[in-house]
C-alpha cells in the first residue's frame, strides 16, 4: 500500500515541480496547480490501466466453463496490484480445486449408482426425471437423451404405478410389468419410491421375474408333493378303517394288507426321490478325483432292469447290455448310478412286454463318454420333450403310477448330468421308441487301466 502512496506522491511531485519551473520561468501563476493536477491525472491513468488489465484477466477467468487450474497468463502488475492479482489467483485456484474435487465425488457417486443392480431414477419436485441409471432405462424403456425432464407418469403408463405415485403412500412397493414384458416372457418389476430432500423422489426398481418364478415353482412343488403323498395316504387310511371296522376273511385281509404295503412303498419311493433331489441341490459339486468304473455301474443297472422287468412284465423284455471299453468316470458313484438306473428303469417301465431295451457305454472320437438307453416303447410326442425333466411332469400319469414312477426320475437325471458337466439328450418319436443319452466330458473320462 505504501508503494501506492509513493507512486502517487512521485506523480504529484513531478507535476508540481514542472508547474513550479514553468512559474519560475515567467509562466502564469496557476501553472503549479495545473502541474499538480497533471501529476494526479497521470497517476490515475496508470492506475486505471492496471485496473483494466486486472478486470480483463478476471473476466477471462470467469468465462472459463470447466473447472481447470487458473490460467497461467497472469497480468504482470506492480505494487499493490501484484498483491491483488496474487490473492485473487489463490482464491481462484482454491475454487478450482474444490470444484474439481466435488466433480470427482459426483462422478464417483454417479458411477456407483450406474453400477447398482437396481434401476435408480431421481425425480424433481414435479415428478420429472432428472437422472436415471442404465438399469432403469432397461427396466422402463427410457431413452436418456429424450426422456430427461419428462414427467415419469407420461412414460410409465401402468395404471397401478400411476395410482401408487399419486397416492403419496410409499411405505410399500408396487409390482408392474417391465418394458420388455411379453405374454410369452413376462417380466415383473418391483418399484419402490422414497421421498427425500424438499419434495424430491428416489425411485428404485428391481427385476423380480426370477424370484417370482422361483416362488411359483416352490408353490407348485409343495402342491405336487402334498398331492402325491395324500393319494396313497387316503388309500391307506381307507384300508385301515376297513380292517378296523369289518370282520374280514383271511384271504381278503391278506389282499388288503398287500395293497397297503404297495401304497406305503410308493410313499417311500417318493420320499427317497425327494431326498435325492434335495441332496443333489444342497451338496458341493463332485470332485474330479473319485473314479467310478463304468462296467460296475452297468452291471448294477442290468440287475435292476431284469428284476423290474420280471415284476411288471410277465413275458419279460429283451434286455441288451453292452459295457463297451473298460472306462472310468470322475464323479459320485451314488449319483451316477441313480441317473443311469433312472434311464434304464424308465425304458423298462414304458416299453411293453417283449419289447427291446438296449443299454450301451462307448467312448466317442473326441474322448467324451456316452451312456445310451434305447427302447422300442411308445415314444414321446415332440411337444412333451422340453418339459420331461421338470419335476412331476408326466405324459402317461397312470402308466407312471402303475409301474412305481414318482415323476422325479428325469429331474434327478438332469441334476446329476449338470453336476458332472454332462449333457442329457432325448430323441424320440411316437411309435418309434426313445433314445436317452448322457454324454460326459472328456475331462471326466479315462480308460480303466489308467488307475
Indicate whether 377 belongs to the interface with ligand ADP (CB under 6 A). yes
| Nearest distance, CB of residue 335 and ligand ADP, angstroms | 16
Query: Does 267 engage in binding with ligand ADP (CB under 6 A)?
Result: no
User: In sequence order, what are the residues at sequence separation of 6 or more whose Cβ sits closer than 8 angstroms to the Cβ of residue 301?
Assistant: 321, 337, 340, 341, 344, 359
In angstroms, give the least distance from the CB of 350 to ligand ADP. 4
Closer to ligand ADP by Cβ: residue 83 or 423: 423
> Do residues 417 and 285 make contact, with C-beta atoms less than 8 angstroms apart?
no
Does residue 407 belong to the site contacting ligand ADP (CB under 6 A)? yes
Q: DSSP letter at 376?
A: -
The least distance separating ligand ADP from the CB of residue 394, rounded to whole angstroms, comes to 3
User: Is 294 near ligand ADP (CB under 6 A)?
Assistant: no
Of the candidate residues 152, 336, 347, 416, the single one contacting ligand ADP (CB under 6 A): 347
Q: Which of 201, 394, 419, 444 binds ligand ADP (CB under 6 A)?
A: 394
Q: Which one among 19, 286, 331, 405 touches ligand ADP, defined by CB under 6 A?
A: 405
The footprint of ligand ADP on this chain (CB under 6 A) covers a number of residues equal to 22
Q: Which of 380, 416, 424, 438 binds ligand ADP (CB under 6 A)?
A: 380
Residue 232 makes contact with ligand ADP by CB under 6 A: no
Q: Quick one: cell of 55?
A: 478486470
- Taking the C-alpha atoms of residue 24 and residue 20, their distance in angstroms, rounded to an integer, is 6
Residue whose grid cell is 417311500? 268
- Give whichever of 228 and 328 is closer to ligand ADP, judged by the CB atom: 228
Site for ligand ADP in 411-440 (CB under 6 A): 411, 434
Locus of grid cell 417301465:
349
User: Is residue 305 a contact point for ligand ADP (CB under 6 A)?
Assistant: no
Query: From the list 164, 321, 350, 440, which residue makes contact with ligand ADP (rule: CB under 6 A)?
Result: 350
If 0-12 CB within 10 Å is exposed, 13-18 middle and 19+ buried, where does residue 139 land? Answer: buried
| Contacts to ligand ADP from residues 99-118, by CB under 6 A | none
Per CB under 6 A, 396 contacts ligand ADP? yes
CB within 8 Å of 180: residues ≥ 6 apart = 138, 141, 187
Tell me: does residue 355 bind ligand ADP (CB under 6 A): no
DSSP class of 284: P
* Nearby residues of 193 by Cβ (< 8 Å), 6 or more positions away: 164, 165, 170, 201, 202, 203, 204
C-alpha cell at 355: 419289447
Residue from the set 207, 228, 335, 375 that interacts with ligand ADP by CB under 6 A: 375
Residues 6+ apart with CB under 8 A from 84: 54, 77
Give every CB contact of residue 149 below 8 A, 6+ residues apart in sequence. Answer: 128, 129, 130
Which C-beta is closer to ligand ADP: that of 61 or that of 427? 427
Contact track, ligand ADP, 58-77, x by CB under 6 A? --------------------
- Which of 408, 406, 416 has its CA nearest to residue 438? 416
CA distance 410 to 424: 10
**Among positions 147, 400, 416, 444, the unique one binding ligand ADP when judged by CB under 6 A:** 400
Residue 345 DSSP SS3: helix
| DSSP letter string, 33-69 | HHHHHHHHHHHHHHHHHHHHHHHHHHHHHHH--S--S
Name the residue nearer to ligand ADP (CB basis): 286 or 405.
405
Residues making contact with ligand ADP (CB under 6 A): 342, 346-347, 350, 375, 377-378, 380, 388, 393-396, 400, 405-411, 434
Amino acid at each position: 500500500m505504501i508503494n501506492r502512496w509513493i507512486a502517487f506522491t512521485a506523480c504529484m511531485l513531478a507535476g508540481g515541480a514542472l508547474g513550479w519551473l514553468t512559474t519560475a520561468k515567467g509562466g502564469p501563476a496557476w501553472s503549479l496547480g495545473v502541474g499538480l493536477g497533471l501529476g494526479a491525472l497521470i497517476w490515475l491513468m496508470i492506475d486505471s490501466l492496471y485496473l483494466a488489465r486486472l478486470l480483463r484477466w478476471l473476466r477471462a477467468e470467469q468465462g472459463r466453463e470447466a473447472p481447470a487450474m487458473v490460467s497461467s497468463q497472469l497480468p504482470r502488475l506492480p505494487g499493490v496490484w501484484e498483491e491483488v492479482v496474487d490473492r485473487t489467483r489463490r482464491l481462484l485456484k482454491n475454487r478450482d480445486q474444490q470444484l474439481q474435487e466435488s466433480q470427482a465425488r459426483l462422478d464417483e457417486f454417479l458411477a456407483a449408482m450406474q453400477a447398482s443392480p437396481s434401476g435408480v431414477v431421481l425425480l424433481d419436485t414435479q415428478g420429472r426425471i432428472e437422472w436415471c441409471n442404465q438399469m432403469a432405462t432397461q427396466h422402463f424403456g427410457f431413452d436418456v437423451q429424450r426422456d430427461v425432464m419428462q414427467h415419469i407418469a407420461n412414460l410409465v403408463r401402468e395404471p397401478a404405478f400411476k395410482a401408487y405415485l399419486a397416492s403419496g403412500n410409499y411405505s410399500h412397493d408396487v409390482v408392474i410389468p417391465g418394458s420388455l414384458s411379453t405374454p410369452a416372457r413376462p417380466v415383473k418389476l418391483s418399484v419402490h419410491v422414497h421421498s427425500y430432500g424438499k419434495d424430491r423422489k428416489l425411485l428404485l426398481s428391481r427385476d423380480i421375474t426370477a424370484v417370482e418364478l422361483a416362488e411359483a415353482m416352490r408353490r407348485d412343488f409343495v402342491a405336487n408333493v402334498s398331492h402325491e403323498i395324500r393319494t396313497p395316504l387316503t388309500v391307506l387310511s381307507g384300508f385301515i378303517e376297513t380292517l378296523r371296522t369289518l370282520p374280514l376273511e383271511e384271504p381278503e385281509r391278506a389282499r388288503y394288507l398287500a395293497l397297503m404295503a404297495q401304497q406305503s412303498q410308493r410313499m417311500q419311493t417318493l420320499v427317497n426321490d425327494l431326498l435325492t433331489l434335495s441332496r443333489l441341490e444342497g451338496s458341493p459339486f463332485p470332485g474330479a478325483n473319485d473314479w467310478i468304473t463304468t462296467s460296475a455301474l452297468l452291471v448294477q443297472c442290468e440287475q435292476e432292469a431284469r428284476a423290474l422287468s420280471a415284476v411288471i412284465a410277465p413275458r419279460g423284455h429283451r434286455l441288451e447290455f453292452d459295457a463297451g471299453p473298460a472306462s472310468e468316470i470322475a464323479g459320485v458313484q451314488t449319483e451316477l448310478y441313480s441317473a443311469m438306473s433312472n434311464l434304464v428303469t424308465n425304458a423298462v417301465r414304458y416299453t411293453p412286454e417283449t419289447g427291446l431295451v438296449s443299454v450301451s457305454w462307448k467312448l466317442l472320437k473326441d474322448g467324451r463318454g456316452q451312456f445310451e438307453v434305447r427302447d422300442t416303447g411308445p415314444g414321446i410326442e415332440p411337444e412333451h420333450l422340453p418339459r420331461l425333466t421338470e419335476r412331476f411332469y408326466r405324459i402317461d400319469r397312470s402308466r407312471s403310477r402303475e409301474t412305481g414312477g414318482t415323476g422325479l426320475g428325469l429331474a434327478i437325471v438332469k441334476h446329476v448330468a449338470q453336476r458332472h458337466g454332462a449333457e442329457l439328450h432325448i430323441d424320440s418319436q411316437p411309435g418309434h421308441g426313445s433314445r436317452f443319452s448322457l454324454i460326459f466330458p472328456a475331462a471326466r473320462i479315462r480308460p480303466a487301466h489308467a488307475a
